[in-house]
Structure 1
C-alpha cells in the first residue's frame, strides 16, 4: 500500500532523513520507532506533504511526493499529529465532525460514525459537549484519534500517540490500536515507546540519526539483544 524508497529530507545543512526506505502492506500495523530527534516525525511530515523531500513515496502505486496535503488526505491517508492539535474552542462533537470535512456523508452516516467513536472511547461520549481545550491530555489524544477515524482513512498514521500521557492512559490508547487493527485498518505507528509499539505491530523499523538501522517482524525486534538494550530497557 505504502512504499517509500530513498527518502531524503534536509533542513538547511541538517540532513534529517537519509535514504530511508520502508513499506506498509494493506491491513498491517507497522511501527517506526526511535529516540527523540531520530527523524520519525520528519518522515511522517514528508509522507503527508507538509514538508519538501526527495525520493519516492508511493501509495497504491501513485506517487505522492510533490502533491498537496489536501489531495493526499482525499486519497485516504490521515494523520493524528504529534501533540494532538485538537480545536480547543470547539466541542468534542464539533471536533469529530471536523474530521469528516472531506467526506460527502449524510447526517445519519455521521451520527453512526460518531457513535462508533464513542464506543471506542466512552469518555468522549461523557464529554461530548465539552470544549476540547478544557480536556486532559489523554482525552485530547482520544479525540484526535476519533477525529481521524471520522475521515474514514485507508491508511492511518499515528505520530507519537503516547507522548506525555500517564501509563494507564497509554494502555487505553494501545488497546484502541489493537481494536483498530482487528478491523483491518492499515496503520503506520510512530513511537518512542518501543515496547508498547512492538507489542501491537506486525513489523517494525528502528530509526537512528535519520536512517533505518534495523527492520524485522515486531516479534524478532523484541528479542534482538541490540534492540532490547537500546530501546526496551533491558
Structure 2
C-alpha cells in the first residue's frame, strides 16, 4: 500500500532522514521505532506532505511526494499527530464531526460513525458536550484517534500515541489500536515506546539518526538482543 524509497529530509545543513526505505502492506500494522530525535516524526511529516523531501513515496502505486497535504488526506492517508492537536474550544462531538469533513456522507452515516466511536471510547460518549480542551491527556488522545477514524482512513498513521500518558492509559490506547488493526485497517505506528508498539505490530523498523538500522517481524525484533538492550529494557 505504501512504499518509501530513499527518502531524504534536511533542515538546512542538518540531514534528519537519510536514504530511508520502508513498506506498509495493506491490512498490516507496521511500527517505526526509535529514540527521540531519530527522525520518526520527520518521516511521517514527509508522507503527509507538510515538509519537503527527496525520494519516492508511493501510495497504492501513485507517487505522492510533493502532493499538497489536503490532497494526501483525500487519498485516504489520515494522521493522528504528535501532541494530539484536537480543537480545544470545540466540544467532543464537534471534534468528531470535523473529522468527517473530507467525506461525502449523509448526516445519518456520520451520526452512525460517531456512535461507533462512542462504543470504542465510552468516555467520549460521557463527555460528548464537553469542551475538548478540558479533557485529560488520555481522553484527548482517544478523541484524536476517534476524530481520525471519522475520516474513514485507508492508512492510519499514529505519531507517538503514548506520549505523556500514564501507563494504565497507554495500555488502554494500545488495546484500542490492536482492535482497530483486527478490524483490518492498515496502520503505520510511530513510537518511542518500542515494547508497546511491537506488541501490536506485524513488522517493525528501527530508526537511528535518520537511518533504518533494523527491519524484521515484530516478534523477531522483540527477541533481538540489540533491540532489547536499546529499546526494551
TM-score w.r.t. structure 1 length? 0.99
Alpha-carbon distance, 1:195 to partner: 0.2
Distance 1:154 1:78 in 2: 8
Distance 2:15 2:173 in 1: 32
Q: Which runs of 5+ in 2 are unaligned?
A: none
Distance 1:23 1:15 in 2: 22
Distance 2:111 2:71 in 1: 25
Q: How does 1:199-218 map to 2 (within 5 A)?
A: 199-218=199-218
Match of residue 134 from structure 1? 134
In the comparison of the two structures, how many residue pairs are matched?
233
Matched, 1:14 2:14: yes
DSSP 3-state at the match of 1:46: helix
Match of residue 160 from structure 1? 160
DSSP 3-state at the match of 1:41: helix
Distance 1:194 1:201 in 2: 10
TM-score w.r.t. structure 2 length? 1.00
DSSP 3-state at the match of 2:116: helix
Alpha-carbon distance, 1:9 to partner: 0.1
Matched, 1:177 2:177: yes
Distance 1:9 1:149 in 2: 29
Match of residue 49 from structure 2? 49
Distance 2:182 2:142 in 1: 18
Alpha-carbon distance, 1:85 to partner: 0.2
Match of residue 219 from structure 1? 219
Q: After TM superposition, which residue ranges in structure 1, 4 or more long, deviate above 2 angstroms?
A: none
Q: How does 1:55-70 map to 2 (within 5 A)?
A: 55-70=55-70
Alpha-carbon distance, 1:211 to partner: 0.2
Alpha-carbon distance, 1:104 to partner: 1.1
Match of residue 118 from structure 2? 118
What is the root-mean-square deviation of aligned Cα atoms in Å? Answer: 0.3
Matched, 1:231 2:231: yes
Q: How does 1:60-99 map to 2 (within 5 A)?
A: 60-99=60-99
Distance 1:174 1:4 in 2: 25
DSSP 3-state at the match of 2:139: helix
Distance 2:66 2:182 in 1: 33
